[in-house]
Chains A and B, each alone.
Chain A
Amino acid sequence: MASRTVAKDIITLRGSAAIVSEFFGYAANSILYNRGVYPEESFAKVKKYGLPMLLTQDEGVKSFIASLTAQLSEWLESGKLQRIVLVIMSKATNEVLERWNFSIETDGEVVEKGVSREKSDKEIMREIQAIMRQIASSITYLPCLDEPCVFDVLAYTDKDVAIPFTWIESDPKLIANPQMVKLHSFDTKIHKVDTLVSYKNDEWDEQ
């Protein structure tokens, strides 16, 4: 979490990176639950951001997300991470059905000089809460995923980033002619995260 002095909400680079990576972990779990990628019974309820959040209990998925968020935190601290994309694909055909895009703008001065910023934790939590509510309500307009799906996470980094051992280069897994919905954003004054979901046009909508 963000490093704080006794009575002031000072945000450091490390604290902001932890906030953003933690947010992504919870957001990924919420998306997997709400889009039905994994069965409901494999999720457990916890309290976070003032909301009841659902976390997967599948050990494989848990360890995957945990190692992912650790790497994302490292990249965020170095200011090399530009975007995180959670991709939902059809298990049978590997066709990309949805892309949950989290764009990240980093304050270069903080990375270079190591200065800190001030922002109320409550306000950051409120902003994240709004995004989580929007993710939960996205099922009202997103098309139904009737077939079994799998998910993957892509990280858009700077070109000079050293690729870790457990990561490889990949194609961006784009959707042709997608529909896009822009969600809220949150800002720690060091990292600004914009959320956008693009999805494949449903055949019924096209008609």
Chain B
Amino acid sequence: MILRTPPPKKQRSETRDPGSLLVASSDLPLVIYEDPPSAAPPPQPSSGEHLLCTYQCRQMVKSDFFDALSCAEKQVDDYQSRSKALEENFSKVEAERKQILDRFLDSEQELAAAKGREQALQEQLLKEVKLRNEMNLRLKADASKASAEEKASIFERKLSNLSESIEKEKKRLHNEIELLERDSKLSVSRKSADLERMECRAINAEEESGLLKEQLEDLKKQLTECMHQKSEVEKKLSSFTFQEASSTDSNILVKHLQEELRNYESEVREARKLRSSRENIELLKEKLSEEKGRRERAEGELSKLHEFQMSMKKLEDELSSWKLMIKEIPGVSCSEDIPVKFAALQKEVIDCMMKEGDANARLKQMEVALDAVQSGKHIAETEAAFAKEKAEESKSEVKRIEVMLSMITEERDKLRDLVNEFKRLKNDEAGDETVSGTLIQELESSLAKKESCIKGLESSLHEQKKVNTRQSEEIKLLNERLNNEARRIKSLERESDRLRSEISLLESKLGHGDYSSANTKVLRMVNTLAVDNEAKQTIEALQNELQKTKEKLQAVEELRSQSGNAGKLVDSYISGKVVQLKEQIATLEKREERYKTVFADRISVFRRACCELFGYKIVMDEHQRANGIPVTRFTLQSIYAQGDDEKLEFEYESGNTIILANDYTSQPEISHQVDIFIRKLNSIPAFTANLTVESFNRRTLS
């Protein structure tokens, strides 16, 4: 639209344009063309001269006028077309202006939305700052937890080393104790062997002494008899000497008897000497053995001394190392503080784990916030792109409008020039140009309007430019913030991956079986199957020990009763052990009795049940074969047996059961069944079942 200020309208009464002359009709008197009144007044012609005009001049003027008119009309048409075009342009510009206004409103709305997003982003930034602080706190907590865990692991390693060393020492001490026990057992066994030897020797000596005593008594008897005989003979001799001369035979007898007496006395003396020498020898032997035993003991104890000294040195070194380790551990002054310290460390670990749990919860919240931020970021990015596009579109439109404006201003200027020229032409020409003047005025008014519209558009353009610059600056700021947020999001994603790996590690630890001793305890049943088996094994072992200790006790008691000297020789250590063993024996005997009664009850129930279920009374015996191998023998008697002779005998050895031949099985019927069921079919249960059925049938039939 081209605005033109129409020239002021000239009143017809005041002035007459040359063009108005054209409209004059032929009735009016012809007036010669004159210059306009502004021009120098022409010299007044004579009254007759102005009426004078040649036809040609009129025609020429007419033609000129018509030419000018046609030109003016053409110009008017042009102006009209241009005005139409301008109006069209104006309408277009108005439409564009409306569009721009709409877009301006949209951009304002977008601005408001962007401001709202900016506020939201600022809030998110604040949240992120808070999250950062929390992450820093969590990192600090993680670092402290890691340090505490390291310390705890170090302490645990030290404790494990300590416990291992303690266990090694315990094992060593146990081994030493076992060695000592074995040695003591060996010494006890040696002493018992020595005692037995002594006993045997004492028995032999007693027997010998008994024999010697008997010999002595015989000799004494012989002596007394001899003495009697001698006395009788002497009496007889004395009686004989009175009567007559003594016979040489009696003297010889007496001499013989005396010699025999002397011999017997010498023999008795030798026997006594022998006996005393033997006693001395035995005493010496005993002393020898005692000395040997003492020497062996002393040598053993010497060697043990060396070992004990070495072990003592090692223990002292280890104790000093433990003490040093205890000193290194902060907050621990003695070994009793270690469990307390360990418990404190465990508590710290538990607290760290609690904090870790809280951190995990916060992590999850952060992840949620991350997701929200990412979504907001996406939305902001899309909106920023959209706003960019709109800004570019508005910029392009602004450019277009500017170009249009420049074109329109050029046209306007051209039109103005044309109008001015036309005005000049109009002023020069006379004639009737009212229609074109009104049109021109209208055009000028429209031009003026359009100029005002153009000015308004220019102002709006300026404003929009300013708005666009502001929007572009805001878009730049948003892009920068977006980039920063993207970086933050990446760092948060990395941290979330790390935390997820830690969570998976913790879950694996949970799956492994780890637990928090503050909240959880682990229980198991006492009466497990293994314990029963272990109890049985311990019972058997205790029974064996009982028997051995009983035998030893009996031997020791016999020795003590026989020889007081032997009792003096037993060490106080052995006597103390004997007392302990006696107490153990008493408890074991009580236990054995209890087990026996229980076992007897159960076994009787079992036997009765077996008898009722399978129809056979089973008796179990232990036998020894000729080669000395012990074998279990089972004797089965059917409840339907008609006699005591109907017994089956089986031998059981290491999983194999063999039927033994006896009178009952050698019967033809039974042997036939043995052949079929046991030898051919290898099934003892089938044989016994068949036998049971047959004996049942026999019984019921009989």
A positions within 8 Å CB-CB of B: 60-61, 64, 67-68, 71, 82-83, 85, 99, 101, 103, 150, 152-159, 161, 163, 166-175, 178, 180, 182, 196, 198
Minimum CB–CB distance from B555 to chain A (whole Å) comes to 38
Query: What per-residue 1/0 map shows which CB atoms of B473-517 lie under 8 Å from chain A?
Result: 000000000000000000000000000000000001011111101
Contacts A61-B529, A67-B525; is A196 near B520 (CB within 8 Å)?
no
B513 and A99 contact, CB distance less than 8 A: yes
A167 and B526 contact, CB distance less than 8 A: yes
B26 at the interface (CB under 8 A from A): no
Residues of chain A contacted by B512 (CB below 8 angstroms): 174-175, 178, 180, 198
With an 8 Å Cβ cutoff, the count of chain B residues facing the other chain is: 22
Minimum CB–CB distance from B624 to chain A (whole Å) comes to 32
Nearest to A64 among chain B residues (CB) is B529
* Partner among A158, A167, A174 whose Cβ is within 8 Å of the Cβ of B524: A167
Contacts A101-B513, A180-B508; is A167 near B522 (CB within 8 Å)?
no
Minimum CB–CB distance from B562 to chain A (whole Å) comes to 49
Residues of chain B contacted by A71 (CB below 8 angstroms): 525
Residues of chain B contacted by A67 (CB below 8 angstroms): 525
Complex-state Cα separation, A82 to B523, whole angstroms: 12
* Partner among A64, A99, A171, A178 whose Cβ is within 8 Å of the Cβ of B525: A64
Minimum CB–CB distance from A198 to chain B (whole Å) comes to 6
B680 at the interface (CB under 8 A from A): no
Query: What per-residue 1/0 map shows which CB atoms of B596-628 lie under 8 Å from chain A?
Result: 000000000000000000000000000000000
Residues of chain B contacted by A85 (CB below 8 angstroms): 513
* Partner among B511, B514, B520, B528 whose Cβ is within 8 Å of the Cβ of A158: B520
B518 at the interface (CB under 8 A from A): yes
B513 and A198 contact, CB distance less than 8 A: yes
Nearest to A161 among chain B residues (CB) is B521
Complex-state Cα separation, A153 to B526, whole angstroms: 11
Residues of chain A contacted by B517 (CB below 8 angstroms): 159
B524 and A168 contact, CB distance less than 8 A: yes
Residues of chain B contacted by A198 (CB below 8 angstroms): 511-513
B524 and A153 contact, CB distance less than 8 A: yes
B523 and A169 contact, CB distance less than 8 A: yes
B524 and A180 contact, CB distance less than 8 A: no
Residues of chain A contacted by B529 (CB below 8 angstroms): 60-61, 64, 150
Complex-state Cα separation, A11 to B510, whole angstroms: 29
Minimum CB–CB distance from A135 to chain B (whole Å) comes to 17
Residues of chain B contacted by A154 (CB below 8 angstroms): 522-524
Q: List 20 A-B contacts (CB under 8 A).
A: A60-B532, A61-B529, A83-B515, A101-B513, A150-B529, A152-B524, A153-B524, A153-B525, A156-B520, A159-B521, A166-B525, A168-B524, A169-B521, A169-B523, A170-B522, A172-B513, A172-B515, A175-B512, A180-B508, A180-B512
Residues of chain B contacted by A157 (CB below 8 angstroms): 520-521, 523
Which residues of B, 355-405, contact A by the 8 Å Cβ criterion? none
A64 and B528 contact, CB distance less than 8 A: yes
Complex-state Cα separation, A152 to B527, whole angstroms: 11
Complex-state Cα separation, A30 to B532, whole angstroms: 23
Minimum CB–CB distance from A196 to chain B (whole Å) comes to 5
B523 and A167 contact, CB distance less than 8 A: yes
Minimum CB–CB distance from A70 to chain B (whole Å) comes to 11
Minimum CB–CB distance from B440 to chain A (whole Å) comes to 93
A172 and B522 contact, CB distance less than 8 A: yes
Complex-state Cα separation, A158 to B519, whole angstroms: 6
Nearest to A155 among chain B residues (CB) is B523
Which residues of B, 527-552, contact A by the 8 Å Cβ criterion? 527-530, 532
B positions within 8 Å CB-CB of A: 508, 510-515, 517-530, 532
Nearest to A68 among chain B residues (CB) is B525
Minimum CB–CB distance from B518 to chain A (whole Å) comes to 7
Minimum CB–CB distance from B323 to chain A (whole Å) comes to 29
Contacts A172-B513, A172-B515, A196-B511; is A152 near B528 (CB within 8 Å)?
yes
Minimum CB–CB distance from B21 to chain A (whole Å) comes to 111
Nearest 6 interchain pairs by C-beta = A170-B524, A167-B523, A155-B523, A174-B513, A172-B513, A196-B511
Complex-state Cα separation, A155 to B508, whole angstroms: 19
Residues of chain A contacted by B527 (CB below 8 angstroms): 64, 166
Residues of chain B contacted by A163 (CB below 8 angstroms): 523
Nearest to B529 among chain A residues (CB) is A60
Residues of chain A contacted by B522 (CB below 8 angstroms): 154-156, 169-172
Complex-state Cα separation, A61 to B514, whole angstroms: 28
Nearest to B516 among chain A residues (CB) is A159
Complex-state Cα separation, A175 to B524, whole angstroms: 17
Complex-state Cα separation, A82 to B516, whole angstroms: 12
Minimum CB–CB distance from A142 to chain B (whole Å) comes to 16
Complex-state Cα separation, A159 to B517, whole angstroms: 8
Complex-state Cα separation, A169 to B524, whole angstroms: 6
Minimum CB–CB distance from B525 to chain A (whole Å) comes to 6
Minimum CB–CB distance from B167 to chain A (whole Å) comes to 15
Complex-state Cα separation, A178 to B510, whole angstroms: 12
Residues of chain A contacted by B532 (CB below 8 angstroms): 60
Contacts A159-B518, A159-B519; is A101 near B526 (CB within 8 Å)?
no
Minimum CB–CB distance from B283 to chain A (whole Å) comes to 55
Complex-state Cα separation, A169 to B530, whole angstroms: 17
Minimum CB–CB distance from A72 to chain B (whole Å) comes to 11
B515 and A156 contact, CB distance less than 8 A: yes
Looking at B517, B519, B524, B528, the one whose CB has the most chain A CB atoms below 10 A away is: B524
Minimum CB–CB distance from A104 to chain B (whole Å) comes to 12
Minimum CB–CB distance from A169 to chain B (whole Å) comes to 6
Complex-state Cα separation, A161 to B530, whole angstroms: 26
Complex-state Cα separation, A157 to B517, whole angstroms: 10
Complex-state Cα separation, A61 to B529, whole angstroms: 7
Complex-state Cα separation, A161 to B520, whole angstroms: 9
Nearest to A180 among chain B residues (CB) is B511
Nearest to A182 among chain B residues (CB) is B511
* Partner among B508, B514, B520, B525 whose Cβ is within 8 Å of the Cβ of A167: B525
Looking at B512, B517, B528, the one whose CB has the most chain A CB atoms below 10 A away is: B512
Residues of chain A contacted by B508 (CB below 8 angstroms): 180
Complex-state Cα separation, A71 to B524, whole angstroms: 11
Nearest to B528 among chain A residues (CB) is A152
Residues of chain B contacted by A173 (CB below 8 angstroms): 513
Nearest to B508 among chain A residues (CB) is A180
Residues of chain A contacted by B525 (CB below 8 angstroms): 64, 67-68, 71, 153, 166-167
Residues of chain B contacted by A60 (CB below 8 angstroms): 529, 532
Complex-state Cα separation, A155 to B523, whole angstroms: 5
Complex-state Cα separation, A161 to B660, whole angstroms: 62
Residues of chain B contacted by A161 (CB below 8 angstroms): 521, 523
Complex-state Cα separation, A25 to B114, whole angstroms: 65
Complex-state Cα separation, A198 to B523, whole angstroms: 19
Complex-state Cα separation, A98 to B57, whole angstroms: 135
Complex-state Cα separation, A178 to B508, whole angstroms: 10
Residues of chain B contacted by A169 (CB below 8 angstroms): 521-523
Complex-state Cα separation, A103 to B515, whole angstroms: 12
Residues of chain B contacted by A152 (CB below 8 angstroms): 524, 528, 530
Residues of chain B contacted by A101 (CB below 8 angstroms): 511, 513
Nearest to A167 among chain B residues (CB) is B523
Complex-state Cα separation, A153 to B527, whole angstroms: 12
Complex-state Cα separation, A150 to B521, whole angstroms: 23
Minimum CB–CB distance from B503 to chain A (whole Å) comes to 15
Minimum CB–CB distance from A185 to chain B (whole Å) comes to 13
Minimum CB–CB distance from B481 to chain A (whole Å) comes to 43
B511 and A170 contact, CB distance less than 8 A: no
* Partner among A99, A150, A166, A168 whose Cβ is within 8 Å of the Cβ of B530: A150
Minimum CB–CB distance from B264 to chain A (whole Å) comes to 77
B513 and A170 contact, CB distance less than 8 A: no
Complex-state Cα separation, A154 to B530, whole angstroms: 15
Residues of chain B contacted by A153 (CB below 8 angstroms): 524-525
Complex-state Cα separation, A170 to B513, whole angstroms: 13
Complex-state Cα separation, A110 to B511, whole angstroms: 26
Complex-state Cα separation, A39 to B617, whole angstroms: 30
Complex-state Cα separation, A167 to B510, whole angstroms: 24
A82 and B526 contact, CB distance less than 8 A: no
